[in-house]
A and B are shown apart, each in its own frame.
Chain A
Amino acid sequence: MIANSAMDSFNSQSLKINKASRRSLFNAVMTGLAGLCILAALVPLALVLFYVTVNGFNRLDLDLFTQLPPAPGLQGGGIANAIVGTLIVVAIATLIAVPIGVLCAIWLAEFGGDETSIDEWVRFGVNILAGVPSIISGVFIYGLMVKPALPGYSALAGGVALAVLMLPTIIRTTDEALKIVPQDIRWAALGVGASKYQMVLKVVLPAAVPAILTGVTLAVARAAGETAPLIFTALFSPFWPNGITNPIASLAVLVYNFATLPFKPQQELAWAASLILVLLVLVSSITARLVTRKR
């Protein structure tokens, strides 16, 4: 039986919220600071979207999506070849980078790990590749494929240059995605008599697909906007795409070329191309999220 005196000496105030205490103040200040940082991070994004939309929106019309660029100074025309060109070059880059990147990551995550393995060197190399400036990738492919006319300025060369930039992102995100798959599932697959490749291909990889898709989307978004590599490799073309062994137009290079021309129509086209590029990246990100959410 608790003595009454013990109850009387308990101070019920000690339980109550005290807004003025040092701890509460510190809490409030840090929460406010964190909120400001969120704003600081979101404001540039909002400004870019707003600015691009405001400047590019007026130029949106059917011609934009169906016509070739006009001669300098002339009105009308569109950026249809650049849109198609970007899609083609990014598609080539994705077709090269995704299989190589995913298989490399599968090797790192599932088959490496012995004392004799070169795992850490491969990961180290990938990290270095991730830091390579995009223009270097362009110059590299210029020396490899353009100068010796193999096949020269072309969509193919542009695609390869972009693939080099996409590779580290895809390898790293796939590696992480595979590591996250719980070990239980691997043991379960081996327990029903699966060989290692059966386990990886049919159980581990499907489980990691949502995360891998996110990584691929990130890589594609980066590649779609790269300009420097394309200047040396895919060059530009005012005409419709003419096979992948010839120069090709792309949105990023179009913006680069047209934004600094002293002609208003070209500048407007550059804004419109910027808007299309931003929208392309937005749409692919949202699609990736939708697809992975269904799983």
Chain B
Amino acid sequence: MNPMAITNDVVLRAKDCDIYYGSYRAVRDVSVDIPQHKVTAFIGPSGCGKSTVLRCFNRLNDLIEVFHLKGKMTYHGQDLYAADVDPVEVRRRIGMVFQKPNPFPKTIYDNIAYGPRISNYQGDMDELVETSLRRAALWDEVKDKLQESGFSLSGGQQQRLCIARTIAVQPEVVLMDEPCSALDPISTLKVEELMKELTQDYTIIIVTHNMQQATRVADYTAFFNAEVVEGAGGKVGYLAEFDETQKIFSDPALQETRDYVTGRFG
């Protein structure tokens, strides 16, 4: 497939990446350029490697012992998987919001403050907490109960708390792994509005099962698919097509993309 030319600056780039768990190749041929200050969506049926690729961007797959990556992933041109790169520093610049809200068992204030504290943030912590909560559209709902536990919030609020926690460390990129799949429609709407506002300061990559969500929030979309192979695991994922969202959903280049977005499978 032809990688399209992006007119914005490219923040993250993957070139001919293959992802292995031991000797089992889970995802092949991933080449994608993530543009700055835009929302890029990864869509595709279950099990084709979208979340796996997402986790590669912030070195979170390192936690899985048998994982290794072939190919090149760069951040502002610098190889993310070079031997002298510190994964902890990578994660401070590329943050992540997970599918299930996972606030720390601490107060709301401490949830937000944890990240900056461990990065030796020297400025006014109260101000940073307030800014992060405002940006996550949660300030008005929690400003009077900052000392209560993170778990005292509803699911949608917890997820926004996790988003606030992630942006408190002021990363450049925010990776979101199906952030709304555990939320009700109203919370989903709030989080989606949030995403659009966040692009002013951050770059966002979102994995989503919900095609309509991709059309609502994403500027660019990457469609992943999977095919059957012999051997352990039985299938391998791959990046089929990557283009502007509008193009993917109205006039995709590949037949399989067209089949997926029109609901013929997946």
Stretch from A132-140, A194-202, A241-249, A258-266 that touches the partner: A194-202
Count residues on chain B whose CB falls below 8 Å from chain A CBs: 29
Mark interface residues in A193-224 (1 if CB within 8 Å of B CB, else 0): 11100100011001100000000000000000
B118 touches A202 (CB 8 A): yes
Provide the residues of chain A in CB contact with B247, threshold 8 Å. none
Interface positions, chain B 82-131, Cβ under 8 Å from A, are 88-89, 91-93, 95-98, 100, 102-106, 114-115, 118-119
A193 touches B114 (CB 8 A): no
Judge whether A44 is part of the interface by a CB distance below 8 angstroms.
no
Q: How far is the CB of B89 from chain A (nearest CB, A)?
A: 7
Provide the residues of chain A in CB contact with B65, threshold 8 Å. 114
Q: How far is the CB of B173 from chain A (nearest CB, A)?
A: 12
Provide the residues of chain A in CB contact with B118, threshold 8 Å. 192-195, 198, 202
A193 touches B102 (CB 8 A): no
* A198 vs B115: C-alpha distance when bound (angstroms): 10
Provide the residues of chain B in CB contact with A191, threshold 8 Å. 58, 60, 91, 95-98, 166
B105 touches A206 (CB 8 A): yes
Judge whether B169 is part of the interface by a CB distance below 8 angstroms.
yes
A192 touches B115 (CB 8 A): yes
A194 touches B100 (CB 8 A): no
Beyond A185-B105, A187-B98, A206-B106, whether A192 also contacts B165 by CB under 8 A is: yes
Provide the residues of chain A in CB contact with B104, threshold 8 Å. 185, 188-189, 203, 207
* A128 vs B60: C-alpha distance when bound (angstroms): 37
* A182 vs B168: C-alpha distance when bound (angstroms): 23
* A69 vs B59: C-alpha distance when bound (angstroms): 67
Judge whether B180 is part of the interface by a CB distance below 8 angstroms.
no
Provide the residues of chain B in CB contact with A114, threshold 8 Å. 65
A192 touches B91 (CB 8 A): yes
Beyond A187-B98, A188-B98, whether A193 also contacts B91 by CB under 8 A is: yes
Q: How far is the CB of A199 from chain B (nearest CB, A)?
A: 9
Of the four ranges (under 10, 10 to 19, 20 to 34, 35 or more), the interface on chain A belongs to: 10 to 19
Judge whether B162 is part of the interface by a CB distance below 8 angstroms.
yes
Mark interface residues in B59-91 (1 if CB within 8 Å of A CB, else 0): 010010100000000000000000000001101
* A279 vs B171: C-alpha distance when bound (angstroms): 55
B102 touches A192 (CB 8 A): no
CB closest residue in chain A, given B112: A192
Judge whether A184 is part of the interface by a CB distance below 8 angstroms.
yes
Q: How far is the CB of A207 from chain B (nearest CB, A)?
A: 5
Provide the residues of chain B in CB contact with A195, threshold 8 Å. 88, 118
* A226 vs B103: C-alpha distance when bound (angstroms): 43
Q: How far is the CB of B237 from chain A (nearest CB, A)?
A: 21
* A193 vs B89: C-alpha distance when bound (angstroms): 7
* A195 vs B65: C-alpha distance when bound (angstroms): 17
A188 touches B102 (CB 8 A): yes
CB closest residue in chain A, given B86: A195
Judge whether A36 is part of the interface by a CB distance below 8 angstroms.
no
Judge whether A45 is part of the interface by a CB distance below 8 angstroms.
no
CB closest residue in chain A, given B117: A202
* A191 vs B88: C-alpha distance when bound (angstroms): 9
Q: How far is the CB of B183 from chain A (nearest CB, A)?
A: 16
Q: How far is the CB of B44 from chain A (nearest CB, A)?
A: 22
Judge whether A43 is part of the interface by a CB distance below 8 angstroms.
no
Provide the residues of chain B in CB contact with A33, threshold 8 Å. none
Q: How far is the CB of B176 from chain A (nearest CB, A)?
A: 11
Judge whether A190 is part of the interface by a CB distance below 8 angstroms.
yes
- Interface set of B (CB-CB < 8 Å, partner A): 58, 60, 63, 65, 88-89, 91-93, 95-98, 100, 102-106, 114-115, 118-119, 162, 165-166, 168-169, 171
Known interface pairs A188-B104, A194-B115; 12 further A-B residue pairs with C-beta atoms within 8 A, sorted by A's residue number: A185-B102, A187-B60, A187-B98, A188-B103, A188-B162, A188-B165, A189-B104, A192-B115, A192-B165, A193-B88, A193-B89, A193-B92
- 29 A-B pairs with C-beta separation under 8 A: A114-B65, A184-B102, A187-B63, A187-B102, A188-B102, A188-B103, A188-B162, A190-B60, A190-B63, A191-B58, A191-B96, A191-B166, A192-B91, A192-B92, A192-B95, A192-B114, A192-B168, A192-B169, A193-B88, A193-B91, A193-B93, A193-B95, A193-B115, A194-B114, A194-B115, A202-B118, A206-B106, A207-B104, A207-B105
- Interface set of A (CB-CB < 8 Å, partner B): 114, 182, 184-185, 187-195, 198, 202-203, 206-207
Give me the 3 closest cross-chain CB pairs, A-B, nearest first: A193-B92, A192-B115, A184-B102
